[in-house]
Amino acid sequence: MDLYFMGTNAGVPSLERNVTSLALRLFDERRSFWLFDCGEATQHQILRSPLKLSKLEFIFITHLHGDHLFGLPGLLSSRAYQGGDTPLVLFGPPGIKRFVNTVLELSESRINYRLEIVEHEGGSLFEDASFRVESAKLDHRIDSYGYRIVEKSQPGKLNQELLAKHGISPGPLYGRLKRGESIQTADGTILRPEDVLGEPKRGRIVTILGDTRPCPAEQPLADRADVLVHEATFMHDLAETAYAYHHSTARQAAEVAKHSECKSLYLTHFSSRYKYEHQLEQLLSEAREVFPDSYLAQEHELYPVLRGE
């Protein structure tokens, strides 16, 4: 599980940075990736990345401002020409369906895969045997949402040495034990999963928030996340400006990470006024004064999502 940023600028692209887009790469877990927001030129960024549009499974749009979704029509169309024939699900606030359908209809674009568009106003969005995705509304000028991705815990390792002593070799019985079923050995001994399984491997939690002022909804979404991705549009000397434009400062992002007991924080969505490296380092220093495990999101860098202790 890795994070891959393809846009970290706020509002408009600059020579140094593109507008917002972030991939959660799940190659080992699902052989796919999920996309969070799709600013202009996201598909160009994907061409320079280790990602393939044919492997895109879900898209989550945080809100309907242009710097978060103007790249969507082109990406959806291009996916059809790059081997993307598997179903694709797009989640977003009310209005996302009208936006996509209008653009595709007027441009007479044809998509040869099944596109499902799910409009939501928060709550539980998706769940299967491996993952759960939840969402909640934040505090922005228009409806903006955060997403909490929870990887479910996995069974611990089997004690193969003990199983061998009971005459059990790798095969279907291993699978039954991992599914939580008891089995009977050839001599009639009943082996329960807890007898032969180690500690479960805790699933990871990734929280990706859309544009927002500090608000109560952030903390439940970020609670004990292994990774929190939070906007840091301004430094704290511009806190009043941030509030007026419904954004957050780097320090405010760090306060969310600290109060939510997150393991790490990635800052993104930087104002174009911070174009030089030393200016971004000031943003980072401000965050680290509150939450030491803070990092600047860099475009075209892979960030592994590690399990916190």
Residues forming the active site: 67
State yes or no: 211 annotated in a binding site.
yes
57, 127, 183, 255, 304 from 180: Cα distances, Å: 29, 20, 10, 40, 30
DSSP structural state of residue 122: S
Strands (E), 188-308: 190-191, 205-209, 227-231, 265-268, 294-296, 302-304
Q: Measured between alpha carbons, how far is 289 from 273 in angstroms, rounded to an integer?
A: 22
On whether 247 is known to bind a ligand per the annotation, the reply is: no
Helix axis angle for 277-290 and 250-259, nearest 10°, is 30
Q: Which residues contact 68 (CB under 8 A, 6 or more apart)?
A: 19, 20, 37, 38, 39, 61, 62, 210, 211
300 in a labelled binding site: no
140 is in an annotated binding site: yes
Cα separations (Å) of 172 from 177, 178, 191? Answer: 9, 10, 14
Q: Which residues pair with 19 in a beta bridge?
A: 9
Backbone angles phi, psi at 25, to 5 degrees: -85, 125
Q: Is 67 marked as binding a ligand?
A: yes
Q: End-to-end CA distance of the chain: give it in Å, rounded.
A: 17
| Residues ≥6 apart with Cβ < 8 Å to 280 | 270, 274, 296
Per the annotation, binding residues for Zn(2+) are 63, 65, 67-68, 140, 211, 269
Per the annotation, binding residues are 63, 65, 67-68, 140, 211, 269
